[in-house]
Chain A
């Protein structure tokens, strides 16, 4: 069964450093998402991406964040200058087509630790 994959599983970085989190969505999916979950808290939407541009973004997704689909398979989330409060699990998700009735497939997540 096809699945969303994410690398690395755990990333440790120093405050102020740039990090890139990588995702490979399911191959025939067209819509891509990033969510984050701070330890012990709820899952929060960050951004959605379709047709090589951002469709929606939340207040969390400020100028420090960017997303890119550099080739036909990868979908990346970049944090330019990490802060301690960026420490969280980051989940990538994808869906085949638009429409609220369609399920999103989530990856296993990347745990980001900012020291």
Chain B
């Protein structure tokens, strides 16, 4: 099973920043931290990934704790289109390269 812990749900106001936390206290040294999201009635969509350093891309930022036992996905200005389930995923040794999805965090964005 996925070795991450995320809140079941979070709410944000439109155009405000959103910080989505993920705990992964059993992370190993070579595990990458991936974030995907799933908009309603769609397949999962890549958001961002990182190993040790903080990462930025056009969609989001990923802040990784120094001990790597937690990370935070940051959406700088939430839009209504960002309402989705956000998954924080680590490698699962049982399945090699394959993703093991947990229940994720359901983000609601209020206008």
Chain A residues engaging chain B, CB cutoff 8 angstroms: 4, 31, 33, 35, 42-45, 48, 55-56, 58, 91, 93, 95, 98-101, 103-109
Contacts and interface: CB of A to CB of B under 8 A. Distances in A.
B110 interface: no
Main secondary structure of the interface of B (DSSP, over half): loop
Interface of B: 30-32, 34, 38, 42-46, 49, 51, 87, 91, 95-104
A67 B108 CA distance: 37
Given A106-B44, A108-B43, A42 B104 contact: yes
Contacts of A33: 98
Contact of A91 (B44, B87, B97): B44
A44 B101 contact: yes
B98 A56 contact: yes
A45 to B, nearest CB: 5
A45 B96 contact: no
Contact of B42 (A42, A95, A100, A108): A108
Nearest to A58: B95
A104 B44 CA distance: 9
A98 to B, nearest CB: 6
Contacts of B87: 43
Most chain B Cβ neighbours within 10 Å, of A43, A93, A105, A106: A43
